[in-house]
Amino acid sequence: MSDRPVDPAAPSPWDEDFAAQLIGKTLLIGVTYLDAGGAVREQVQFHGIVVEADPARGITISCQGSDIGRKFTVPPDLQAISPGEPGEYRLRSSGETVIDPDYTASWTVRSPAS
């Protein structure tokens, strides 16, 4: 582990090979929305097939299940994406079950202070 301070505003390194491997894979995403004080406002989960992985535009999925037909893009932070563990994932926000996703990612979005 490095003693170097981490700058959360700095972009993560882009791995073109890993990004290319994501295309066509299932990605299960969880997003937690916090208010300015850090309290949870909402948690949503969805899944889909990765259709684009671009260092400038981010990672875009074509949603499946209850959100089919919708596209969703997350920031181009490949370090936030992990291989999915085999098993069944029940989505709290929709009640549907995703089986054996290829990858998972979670994000936390904090509202700015007013």
The residue extents of the domains of the chain are 16-108
Per-residue model confidence (pLDDT) at position 12: 62
Using pLDDT thresholds of 50, 70 and 90, give the confidence band for residue 15: very high
pTM of the predicted model, to two decimals? 0.82
DSSP E strands, 1-114: 26-34, 40-54, 58-63, 71-74, 81-83, 88-90, 97-99, 103-110
In whole angstroms, what is the distance from residue 12 CA to residue 8 CA? 9
Q: To 5 degrees, how large is the angle CA 76–CA 10–CA 114?
A: 90
26-83 confidence digits (pLDDT tens) = 999 999 999 999 999 999 999 999 999 999 999 999 999 999 999 999 999 999 999 9
